[in-house]
Every structure is written in structure tokens, then in C-alpha cells.
Amino acid sequence: DTAVSQTPKYLVTQMGNDKSIKCEQNLGHDTMYWYKQDSKKFLKIMFSYNNKELIINETVPNRFSPKSPDKAHLNLHINSLELGDSAVYFCASSQGGRRNYGYTFGSGTRLTVV
């Protein structure tokens, strides 16, 4: 029973298209995140939601819009895809405060823009 599941695992699309990545966690965590891992493997936070409320919004183009319908789901929608958006996108969740034992990550979505 997967704790943090992302779909799809692979996504190949053309420049200019709009795409979404879905994420769901069944751990009961109250905080969810999107991270981007670039071609050099560097991981950088994009967004964080706590119980459906946006907490962190790093310097990310407006073409990226997260949506959290409930605290178990955090989706990422990307408009007008560009070549530079090609990366691996990770969803993660954690329990905040003193019970924060680190993030549980999804398996990642490899996005390739051609």
C-alpha cells in the first residue's frame, strides 16, 4: 500500500502543452510538498501546503499552479510547458512539529518536454 503515490511516473509532451501531475498520501500527514530535481540531481522546493493552505511558494514561474483539494492530495498543473521544465518532480509529505520525522517522498515523475 503506497504511502505517497504520484501519477504519472513518466510524462513526455510537446512545448506549449498543459499537463498535470497528481499526488496522494495515505499517511495522515498534514503537510505536502512539491520538489523539482534538475539534471544535476539538485533538489529544490517549489511549494508546500499545510492542510490545504499554501505555506511556501518559492520563486516558481506562474505557469506552475499547485492545487490541494484536501490534505491528502496535492496536484501540480503546468501551463505552456517549456524545454527547461524537463526534470523529475517529487511529491512529499510530512507531519509537522516535533513529530516531523522527515519527508516521505513519492517515486517521482520524470517530465520530458520536447
Partner 1 sequence: AQTVTQSQPEMSVQEAETVTLSCTYDTSESNYYLFWYKQPPSRQMILVIRQEAYKQQNATENRFSVNFQKAAKSFSLKISDSQLGDTAMYFCAFMRFGGGSEKLVFGKGTKLTVNP
CA–CA dist 58, 47 (Å, integer): 6
Residue whose entry in the numeric block shows the C-alpha cell 520530458: 112
CB-side exposure of 65: number of CA atoms within 13 Å?
9
The CB-of-105 to partner 1 minimum distance in angstroms stands at: 4
Comparison of 38 and 82: residue with beta carbon closer to partner 1: 38
Closest CA to 46 of 85, 96, 100: 85
Contact residues for partner 1, defined by CB under 8 A: 31, 33, 35, 40-45, 48, 50, 55-56, 88, 90, 92, 94, 96-98, 100-105, 107-108, 110
The CB-of-80 to partner 1 minimum distance in angstroms stands at: 26
The CB-of-62 to partner 1 minimum distance in angstroms stands at: 20
